[in-house]
Amino acid sequence: MFSTSEYLPDAPEINLRKSMQQTGEARTVLTDRFQRTIDYTRISVTSDCNLRCFYCKRESPGIPTPDDQQMKTGEIKTLIELLAEMGIRKIRFTGGEPLLRPDIVDLVQIAKSTTGIETVSLTTNGTLLEKHFEALVSAGLDGINLSIDTLNKQRFFAITRRDKFIAVHKMLKSLLNSSLLTIKLNVLLLRGINSDEIKEFVALTMRYPVTIRFMELQPFDDRQIWRTGRFMSAEKIRAELFAAYPALSEVSGSATEFFSYRLPGSSGSLAIIPAYTRNFCSKCTRLRITSDGKVLSCLYHTQSLDLLPDLRNRSAKHQLEAIIRKAVSLKPENGKHGNNAKGMSMSEIGG
């Protein structure tokens, strides 16, 4: 799918930090119009995926994204260095499935070794994780979000349309028993599909220091499944949790983990991500960069700015910085009323 040579920089890399020090340029942190400090960037490294979850992708695998339409290793490195100078402290690699990139370990190492970047994580479906796990840990990876919607083999196939459960479940067990990384499980709940498994996932928090994140379906799928009545709202999820576990107590979670809870005596925690109802938008401090080099200040905002031409032309860093700052200036106060990417899948935007 990808040629490793395609990702090797074919020109001297820009040492952004050294350049800044030599010129004595002052840098201010990224702050939007609403005085939110932007310190987190999600970088999609591929729009391709090896699963075909029915709520996200069509069954047909389609045509893989051409290599020349996706950012190369050196281009991502340039961006990470610049973002770190601009105050970004957390990088998450996403996709598609980021482990399809043959250079994913190198990218983690690049991000982790960049001055100013404090946390490097990735979101994966787990199908290829066993092959890369030790190398990712050695490269400095801090955390993994494993997307897994069911603990049932037959249901896994029905949802993903791929026979990959054994590999994913094996890695799930390894992750739960590992103390090397922060582990979160992303569980997209669908009414009548996997909503009866809430208790099975909650049970994992009693034994393991894992965060189970129950997620609303987002309106980004190329089949518009969210219109079929399968949608399960955050309030409905919350009601079912408290009906089953009235002893839940509130705890602090990340900005997207709008509702966060813990059961007495548990090792882990629970969270609800209101991805569609978007209660958390007003506290958003993130940027998204797609695999083809477009920067989005808001998942639900229709405007994106293209970084790829300037990356390919090796434009001066102040030109790249200007594009990023422009994107931040477009960030809405609340994306709740946005309507981005209708008909697109999350793999195209960056999950």
Check whether 343 has a pLDDT greater than 90: no
* pLDDT, greater one: 251 or 79: 79
* pLDDT, greater one: 173 or 304: 173
Residue 326 and residue 330: Cα distance in Å, rounded? Answer: 7
Range of the domain at 188: 27-349
Within 10 A of 53 (CB to CB), how many other CB atoms are there? 20
- Does residue 17 lie within any of the structural domains? no
Cis peptide before 96 (omega within 30 of 0): yes
Angle 155-159-160 (CA atoms, 0-180°, nearest 5)?
115
Among residues 82, 75, 83, 80, the alpha carbon closest in space to that of 109 is found at: 80
Model pLDDT for residues 207-234, shown as the tens digit of each residue: 999 999 999 887 655 555 556 678 898 9
Question: Which stretch of DSSP H or E encloses residue 168?
Answer: helix 165-176
Domain count across the chain: 1
Average pLDDT on 39-66 reads: 85
- Does residue 339 lie within any of the structural domains? yes
Among residues 57, 103, 84, 36, the alpha carbon closest in space to that of 332 is found at: 36
- Does residue 180 lie within any of the structural domains? yes
**pLDDT score at 62:** 63
**What is the signed CA dihedral for 51, 55, 56, 60, rounded to 10 degrees?**
60
Model pLDDT for residues 113-162, shown as the tens digit of each residue: 999 999 999 999 999 999 999 999 999 999 999 999 999 999 999 999 99
**pLDDT score at 339:** 52
**Share of residues in the chain with pLDDT > 70 (%):** 79
- Does residue 22 lie within any of the structural domains? no
- Does residue 243 lie within any of the structural domains? yes
Check whether 22 has a pLDDT greater than 80: no
- Does residue 2 lie within any of the structural domains? no
- Does residue 10 lie within any of the structural domains? no
Q: Residue 320, exposed/middle/buried by CB under 10 A (0-12, 13-18, 19+)?
A: buried
Domain containing residue 94: CATH number: 3.20.20.70
- Does residue 251 lie within any of the structural domains? yes
Lowest mean pLDDT among 40-49, 58-67, 162-171, 237-246: 58-67
Within 10 A of 243 (CB to CB), how many other CB atoms are there? 8
**pLDDT score at 126:** 98
- The answer to whether residues 177 and 267 touch, using CB atoms and an 8 Å cutoff, is no
